[in-house]
Structure 1
Amino acid sequence: MSVPALDASSVIEPIRSLSEARGVLAVVTRIDGPSYRPLGAMMAVLDDGRRVGTLSSGCVEADIALHAMKALENGTPVSVVYGKGSPFADITLPCGGGLEILLVPEPETDVLIALIAQHSARQHTALEIDARRGTVAIVPSGETGWRGEMFTVAIDPELAFYVFGKGPEAITFAGLVHAAGYPSVLLSPEEETLEIARAAGCETRHLTAAKFPADLHPDEMSAVLLFFHDHDWEPPILASALETEAFYIGAQGSQRAAEMRRNELTLLGVSADALARVRGPIGLIPSVRDARKLAVSVLADVLNEA
């Protein structure tokens, strides 16, 4: 399962860029009022001027880069404040809030590489930053925020999507989550579906039987979605999905199709408690008959539950 190579929306991309090039890690360490980005949001400013990630709606990134270059030259961490309480009266935040940004020059590469490995292994982890010395360390877990002079950034696995089905609904949803930068894979018994999805850059697998591949292991940050018109494919796939930790499991179709699906799962020995985990019809918008609208509706539903 892959993420687009140049995806800067992923929380790990600023870390990845700094593991490969000299630069400064910029972290939101305080928010006063409304903010475009959350506490702990990170951006990398590389020594060639490139920036990876964002910390605002675009109003302070250029100035952050200037301060980052000074911090890189001096080799010491520094905090910069924007908006409320800032000495930079000419730089305002449209949201009316305030941001404090910690700039950490040249964080230890070996720590960043280890953090990337843990993230790739879909482990919950955290980066601890010494604001005074500028050193970084990995800690097993922790909430994002201050603890004395140490600021912790909690880093969770990305949401992952296992998409089963064929036709425009499956293709459109797989393309949407891929474009959004989420790890995802589309599994389909139909080669035409796979060809179109591959052309859009999606990771695909040929599904040769109505079953959940044994080598796939959705975790608690995963969603399993089924987009079949031939609902005979669904029960065995769903029954296996219900044995995983996936937080969202659902299938498209009408209320009648959902009832037939529940009956088939009951015949397969699925318990009432497990059946309650199966969502269907899926999506926030009822009775959707357009593949694009359905894809957005379903993704919004998943994100609302995440």
Structure 2
Amino acid sequence: MAMCRYLVADGRHCSEEAGEHELCRWHDPHADHQAPQTAHELEHYIHQGGLCHGLQLARANLAGLNLVKKGAPQGFLLEQCNFYRANLQGAHLYGIRIKGGSLMKADLSDANLHCAELDNVNLLGIRWHNTRLDNLNTGKRLMQERRGRSERDPAQARIWFKEAEETYRDLRKASEAQGIFTMSGRYIQRELTMRRLQLPLWSIQRFTSWIVDLFCGYGEAPMRVVLFSLLLIFICSIFYFFFGLNFQGEYLIYQPGAAFEAFTGSFTLALFVVVFVKKMTR
């Protein structure tokens, strides 16, 4: 019996029976995965310890797929797998770990991605309708953002940033629909950052957007307002320490109450603006 010739760079290999292209059905990009029992067969393959690297499941019918690893601290690890346009409606993917690969335009409607980890995965164009996203971890940066930041060609970099913006927007809308506003706040920051990176490097619009991000994180980081207020007061105090304030040769008396009142007033006003803007944009 011929064995699948799929081999990973670290020495791992697939032990499944090979088909006509010297690859098993799971690693063969030409294999048909439209049968109704495909999801059940994939579950069996993964639960039996099959090689979960480089699975070719583009356009596969995987509705209702159950890859929950019961009793384990971490879920199954899928590396460099291709789920392009795969049907994953109602899939149970609690705690799943996916590194690399693509979920581009996959249908994850009504799926459960609670506590899932999607690291460096192409998430462009996914259908997130009614998808459970509690504690979803998509990494510090999406795949498109990483490529855009490392791209030397400005035109190609803008394409990557545009795709990243669209992906962050979809994630933000999906998390808002689930009522996870902490997560949506993070994604809207990344979305607006990607929009800024598409602007000309030395433009006023880009500089203004950077200032807004620096001081308040596009309205999603109120602690930056507090830190900026403290920094401004500290700088002014240093300035007054060296140059002082005097009237007719007599230095004015320092009153801690006045300084505290000034800080409280400016902070309250800034906090009101931040809270009001966030309330109006929800």
When the two structures are superposed, what TM-score results if normalisation uses the length of structure 1?
0.25
Q: Which has the higher helix share?
A: 2
Bigger CA radius of gyration:
2
Q: Which has the higher strand share?
A: 1
